Chain A
Amino acid sequence: MQAVNTYLRGGVALQDFEFLSPKTIEEAVSIKAAAGNKARALAGGTDVLVQLKVGRFDIDQLIDMKNIPELNELSFSESDGLTIGAAVPCYKIYEDPTVRSSYPCIVDSSELIGSIQIQGRASLGGNVVNSSPSGDSLPSLIALNGSAVIQGTSGTRSVPLEEFFTGPGRNVMTEDELLVSLNFPAPSKNSGAAFLRFIPRNEMDIAVANVASSVTLTADGKNFESARISIGAVGPTPYFAKDAGDLLAGQEVNDENIAKAAEAAKKYASPITDMRGTIEQRIHLVGVLTKRTLDIAIQRARG
Chain B
Amino acid sequence: MTSTSNPKSKYNVVGTSPIRHDVLGRVTGKAKYGVDLRLTGMLFGKTLRSPHAHARIRKIDTSKAEAHPGVRAVVTTSDMPIVNDEVADFGETMANYRLLAELCLANGKVLYKGHAVAAVAADDIHIAEEALDLIEVEYEVLPPVLTVQQAMAEGAPLLHEVMTTRDVAARFTRGTDTGVASNIASRIVFQGGDPEAAFKNSDVVVEREFNTKMVHQGYIEPHNETAFWAPDGHLTIWTSTQGAFGVRTQISKTLGLPEAHVKVIPMEVGGGFGGKIRSYMGPTAALLSKKTGRPVKIVMNRKEVFESSGPTSGSNMRAKIGANKDGKITAAEVYLAYEAGAYPGSPVAAGASTCLSPYNLENFFVEGLDVVVNKPQVSAYRAPGSPGAALAVETVIDEVAEKLGIDPIDFRLKNATKEGDRQVSGVVFPRIGCVEVEEAIKNSDHYNTPLEGKNRGRGTAMGWWFNGGNASTAMVTVNSDGTVGLVTGSVDLAGTRTAISMQVAEVLGITPDEIYPSVGDTDSIGWTGPSGGSRTTFSTGIAAIQATNLVLDEMKKRAALLWETQPDDVTFENNSFISNKNSEDTISFKDLAGKLMGTGGPVSASSTSNPTQVGSAFGGHICDVEVDTDTGKVTVLRYTALQDVGQAAHQSYCESQVQGGAVQGIGWALNEEYYYTDDGTMANSTFLDYRMPTTLDLPMIDTILVEVPNPGHPFGIRGVGEVPIVPPLAAVANAIADAIGVRLTELPMNPGSILAALKDKK
Q: Which residues of A contact B125 (CB under 8 A)?
A: 11-13
Contact at A200–B751, with CB atoms within 8 Å? Answer: yes
Interface 9-mer from B134-142, B195-203, B417-425, B688-696: B688-696
Stretch with Cβ within 8 A of B (4 or more), from A29-37, A170-178, A203-211, A235-243:
A203-211
- What's the nearest-Cβ distance from chain B to residue A271, in Å? 12
Q: Which residues of B sit under 8 angstroms from A276, Cβ to Cβ? A: 689
- Do A281 and B683 touch across chains, with their CB atoms under 8 A apart? no
A284 at interface, CB cutoff 8 A: yes
Q: A9-B303, A201-B693, A203-B694 are known contacts. Are A284 and B129 too (CB-CB below 8 A)?
A: no
* Residues of A contacting B: mostly: loop
Segment from B99-107, B230-238, B386-394, B629-637 that makes contact with A: B629-637
Q: Which residues of A contact B752 (CB under 8 A)?
A: 277-278, 280-281
Q: Is B96 an interface residue (CB 8 A)?
A: no
Contact of B750 among A6, A200, A274 (CB under 8 A): A200
Indicate with 1 or 0, residue by residue over B613-656, a CB within 8 angstroms of chain A CB atoms. 00000000000000000111100000000000000000000000
Residue A116 is within 8 A (CB to CB) of chain B in the complex: no
**How many residues of B are in contact with the other chain, CB < 8 A?**
32
Can you list, as one digit per residue, whether each of B191-233 has a CB less than 8 Å from chain A (1) or not (0)?
0000000000000000000000000000000000000000000
Report the minimal beta-carbon distance from B36 to chain A, rounded to whole angstroms: 14
How far apart are the CA atoms of A116 and B657 in the complex, in Å?
A: 29
Q: How far is the CA of A6 from the CA of B68 in the complex (A)?
A: 14
- Asked if A201 and B691 sit within 8 Å, CB to CB, the answer is yes
B633 touches A4 (CB 8 A): no
Query: Known interface pairs A201-B691, A205-B691, A285-B631. Does A275 touch B126 (Cβ–Cβ under 8 Å)?
Result: no
Per-position binary interface string of chain A over residues 190-229, scored 1 when its CB falls under 8 Å from any chain B CB and 0 otherwise: 0000000010111111101000000000000000000000
Instruction: Give min CB distance, B665 to chain A, whole Å.
Output: 16
A-B pair number, CB within 8 angstroms: 74
Q: Which of A6, A202, A205 contacts B126 (CB 8 A)?
A: A6
Q: Is A10 an interface residue (CB 8 A)?
A: yes
* A49 part of interface (Cβ distance < 8 Å): no
Q: Does A288 touch B at the CB level, under 8 Å?
A: yes
Residues of A within 8 A of B689 (CB): 206, 275-276
Partner of B688, one of A7, A204, A274, A278: A204
Q: Which residues of A contact B691 (CB under 8 A)?
A: 200-201, 205
Interface string of A61-79 (1 = CB under 8 A from B): 0000000000000000000
Q: How far is the CB of B634 from chain A (nearest CB, A)?
A: 9
Contact between chains at A201 and B671 (CB < 8 Å): yes
Given contacts A6-B130, A275-B683, contact A288 B302 (CB under 8 A): no
The answer to whether A202 touches B751 (Cβ under 8 A) is: no
In Å, the complex CA distance between A13 and B129 comes to 11
Q: Are B697 and A288 in contact (CB under 8 A)?
A: no
Selected from B133, B684, B688, B697, the residue in CB contact (under 8 A) with A202 is B697
Chain A residues near B630: list those with CB within 8 A: 288
Q: With A201-B671, A276-B689, A284-B755 given, is the CB distance from A11 to B694 under 8 Å?
A: no
B451 at the interface (CB under 8 A from A): no
* Chain A: minimal CB distance from B512 (Å): 37
CB contact list, A279-293 vs B, under 8 A: 280-281, 284-285, 288
Q: In this complex, what residue of A is CB-closest to B696?
A: A202
| Cβ contacts B717-745/A at 8 Å (1 or 0 each) | 00000000000000000000000000000
CB neighbours (8 Å) of A9 from chain B are: 129, 132, 301, 303
The 5 lowest CB-CB distance pairs between A and B, nearest first, are A275-B675, A202-B696, A281-B752, A275-B684, A10-B301
Apart from A6-B130, A208-B751, A275-B689, what are 17 other A-B pairs with CB-CB below 8 Å? A4-B126, A6-B126, A6-B129, A7-B133, A8-B129, A11-B129, A11-B301, A198-B631, A198-B751, A200-B691, A201-B694, A201-B697, A277-B752, A280-B752, A281-B752, A281-B755, A288-B630
Task: Give A contacts to B, CB under 8 Å.
Answer: 4, 6-13, 198, 200-206, 208, 274-278, 280-281, 284-285, 288
15 CB-based A-B contacts, threshold 8 Å = A4-B126, A11-B126, A11-B129, A198-B751, A200-B633, A200-B751, A201-B693, A203-B697, A277-B751, A277-B752, A280-B752, A280-B755, A280-B756, A281-B756, A284-B755
